[in-house]
A and B are shown apart, each in its own frame.
Chain A
Amino acid sequence: MADAVFLALSVLTVGSAIAALEMRSLIYGSIALMGSLGGVAGFFFLLDAPFVALFQLAVYVGSIAVLILFTVMLVRRELIFKKIEDKRRKMAGIGLMLVFLVSVGALIMSSGIHQLESDSPPIDFREIGEDFLVYYWPALVVMALILSGAVTGALVLARREVENGSN
């Protein structure tokens, strides 16, 4: 049962990741990206990490994908459907990907990590909260500052400057 779910999730995740990059329309591409991110959230559920999975669903599928959709809609219509790439570059990219996949895959297969099996109980989310507030609280504060800085920076960047005559 779990293996069937795993197989379906991996097909969904990898397939929609490819679709996100290869779909002709950027709008369908961002919807496929949503599928891929949702598939990763499903993997988190399989790994007994429901807290991270729900965080992933809320942040990625809920906000980032919607943000990307809105940005895509700001772009002119003919640019959404235009595919900009050349054939030779694409072949080189596929070659690079295959070389990477084969070499890293062989490296992982020959390493010792497939003897690792888990029989330990899943990690409680209370432990994550303790991690956050006891060991990593300075990082939490810095992350809050980074987030507010990023939002402010994005707003400043995207603000439309009204100059005399332009716009």
Chain B
Amino acid sequence: MALIEFVLVSVALLGIGIYGLAVKRNAIRMLFAVEIIINAANLNLVAFSRYVDDSGGQTLALFSIAIAAAEVAVGLALVVVAYRMYKDVDIANFRSLRG
């Protein structure tokens, strides 16, 4: 397998994520799209780390996974708060997050 195959899979994932962010209005689905984009970036990092023979890519991928976990926790808490306020997950209805 060559590096380019992994990079192409990563580009496909990034494209799907951009599509999801552009089209979906459900807040939880937009979080799915963000997760897919972050995974595309991680795949790129690890692939380049293997082919350039540098351990920095894997280290950065581990940092990125940990930060993504924090991001999802905060994002889901925001979705829960917004759902409690508006009884909806459609982002077009979220006018403000002040109570």
Contact = CB atoms under 8 A, between A and B. Distances in A.
- Say if A and B assemble together: yes
B23 A89 contact: yes
Contact of B59 (A20, A90, A136): A136
Given A26-B29, A51-B58, A158-B77, A40 B4 contact: no
Contacts of A116: 2-4, 51-52
B94 interface: no
Contact of A158 (B70, B81, B92): B81
Given A143-B67, A157-B77, A21 B32 contact: yes
24 contacts: A17-B36, A20-B32, A21-B16, A21-B36, A37-B35, A37-B39, A43-B9, A52-B65, A59-B66, A60-B65, A67-B72, A75-B28, A84-B26, A84-B90, A90-B23, A93-B19, A96-B19, A117-B2, A128-B62, A131-B55, A132-B59, A153-B74, A157-B78, A158-B81
Given A143-B67, A157-B77, A43 B16 contact: no
Contacts of B3: 113-114, 116-118
Please report whether the interface of chain B is mostly helix, strand, loop or mixed according to DSSP.
helix
A94 interface: yes
A151 interface: yes
Contacts of A108: 4, 7-8, 11
Contacts of B47: 43, 47
Contacts of B56: 131
A101 B12 contact: yes
A64 B18 CA distance: 20
Q: Which of B9, B14, B29 has the most CB of A within 10 A?
A: B29
Contact of A92 (B22, B68, B72, B76): B22
A interface residue count range (under 10 / 10 to 19 / 20 to 34 / 35 or more): 35 or more
Q: Range of interface residues on chain B?
A: 35 or more
B7 A40 contact: no
Contacts of B12: 10, 14, 101
Contacts, number: 225
A166 B50 CA distance: 56
A109 interface: yes
Nearest to B76: A71
Nearest to A124: B55
Closest 6 CB pairs of A and B: A150-B70, A93-B23, A154-B77, A97-B19, A157-B77, A114-B4
